[in-house]
Structure 1
């Protein structure tokens, strides 16, 4: 339940959400994309 409460708190702070979460998601997405390029998918 602590995690849910923290998530609700973070999502309610839209400014924080836009400035921190989106760039982090972008970095994670780029990392996953580069990994998927390195690992052949069959």
Structure 2
């Protein structure tokens, strides 16, 4: 397992006057970046 740190997941444009980035903690397991059960934070 290799910890890649926080990575950008998406940008939340639900409020155009307050656009927020969303991040997730990325880990590589045997060369695979699995996003199925990832926790996304604003």
TM bin, normalised by shorter chain, reads: under 0.3
TM-score (norm 2): 0.21
Q: Which has the higher contact order (CA 8 A, sep 6+)?
A: 2
Greater share of helix: 1
